[in-house]
Amino acid sequence: MHKTSETFFPFRYCYERNLAVNPQGGNTGLVGGSVPVFDEIILSTVLMNRIISFDKVSGILVCQAGCVLEKLNEYLEEQGFIMPLDLGAKGSCHIGGNVATNAGGLRLLRYGSLRGTVLGLEVVLGDGSALDCLASLRKDNTGYDLKQLFIGSEGTLGVVTAVSILCPQKPKAVNLAFLGCQSFAKVLETFTTCRAMLGEILSAYEFMDEKCMELVERHLKLSSPVTGSPFYVLIETSGSNSTHDEEKLNNFLERAMTSGLVTDGTVATDDKKIKALWSLRERITEALTHDGCVYKYDISLPVGKLYDLVTDTRARLGRSAKNVVGYGHLGDGNLHLNITAESYSHSLLDAIEPFVYEWTARYNGSISAEHGLGFKKKQFIQYSKASEAVFLMQRFKAMLDPKGILNPYKTLPSGS
């Protein structure tokens, strides 16, 4: 599909014949949201890859849903701007899928979520009609903000065909610090200190445990300039004045080292070294796939409780798991808990679920921080949402997709 008008016909055809449709973009999701369950017809957005417009004054980009995130970022960099989100899957994922799953990623700490940066959407509904909310205004307070219904709905209420998004200017100065900490308490205190001292230039604060580092080094043959620590943090600053930014970063690092928050570290200012350090964090998922069967969990928790889940899961599983690792976007309270085993084991899965979800609910967390629920986790929504909220979601689904043909068997529990 390369024109929105050409998307209407198959939708109308399917609607009239009660045929289920599975929207699919880059197919990089982790919860089965873009994968057919039975005999659904796949609607691919891969040919809807046109950039419609870009306003250099406002920084507002309008593009079709099939545009690959990395290609959009490359286009914007030529104009002196960047996309407000950055993901490990940026080379394959589509902006439409990013919006449909409300993807988070590495820049959320600085630029916020897609619920704030997406200004408008064009959506095709289940009956083939188009909803044009493709506004390019930062302020529009007329009626209900309908686009929010479709952001994070995983294609179950409508298919995003075009996006209007606010893009920040490309930073003129980027610095990266890769640091070692002796405990998770030190990781938290380092975050508090760097947020206070770096302020507006802080653009990312990522953490990973020593198990992650071991896997990246063993399976991908990457080498870290910082070794021998139980935890590692990656801090990125982005600003407009390199002298100013480097002074602030150096002051913070001096404080962190002299106070014992950090025991070792390195700083990168050139692109090659920055990319090499980022790869230690971004390629953890790839390293895990080489370690065996992977059980993946994407959790939001109060920041102070973030790593306790990893510790408790590790203690619960013992030798039945090969590795239990934790990493993620600490600045957003987002933990990626990953468990590996030599092969799939139903008994191991039973030991993990619903334990992880119950633990998360006990501390008022979310069982899906940024990956969505898709097919794999839809039955666990009650751990994060009240029954009244789920019932209201079911009513929205029934109203916008009365025949239930839009990405069925996803997001909401079976029987809804």
pLDDT tens digits, 396-410? 999 999 999 999 999
Instruction: Assess whether pLDDT exceeds 70 at residue 387.
Output: yes
Per-residue pLDDT, averaged over 384-403, amounts to 95
What percent of the chain is modeled with pLDDT above 90?
88
- The whole-number pLDDT of residue 105 equals 84
**pLDDT for 80 beyond 50:** yes
Q: Of 102-106, 113-117, 283-287, 319-323, where does mean pLDDT reach its minimum?
A: 102-106
What's residue 356's pLDDT?
A: 97
Digit-coded pLDDT (tens) for 44-63: 999 999 999 999 999 999 99
Lowest mean pLDDT among 12-16, 53-57, 265-269, 344-348: 12-16
CATH class (in words) of the domain with range 9-166: alpha beta
Q: Does domain 292-383 have CATH number 3.30.70.2740?
A: yes
The residue-averaged pLDDT of 371-387 equals 93
Q: Where are the domains of the chain?
A: 9-166, 173-284, 292-383
CA distances for 56 relative to 115, 170, 390, angstroms: 22, 12, 41
- In terms of Cβ atoms closer than 10 Å to its own Cβ (0-12, 13-18, 19+), residue 31 is buried
pLDDT at 415 over 80: no
Domains 9-166 and 292-383 share a fold: no
**Is residue 212 pLDDT above 90, yes or no?**
yes
Q: Which two tokens stand for residue 98?
A: 């990013």
Fold of 173-284: Alpha-Beta Plaits (3.30.70)
Q: What average pLDDT does the chain have?
A: 93
Residue range 100-123: average pLDDT? 93
| pLDDT category of residue 416 using cuts at 50, 70 and 90 | very low
- Predicted pLDDT of residue 28: 87
The answer to whether 407 and 155 are in contact (CB under 8 A) is yes
114: closest CA among 191, 174, 61, 46?
Answer: 61
pLDDT of residue 4: 58
| pLDDT at 317 > cutoff 70 | yes
pLDDT (mean) for 128-153? 93
Q: What is the per-residue pLDDT for 266?
A: 95
For residues 366 and 331, give the distance between their C-alpha atoms in angstroms, rounded to a whole number: 16
Does 26 score more than 70 pLDDT?
yes
Mean pLDDT calculated for residue range 195-211? 95
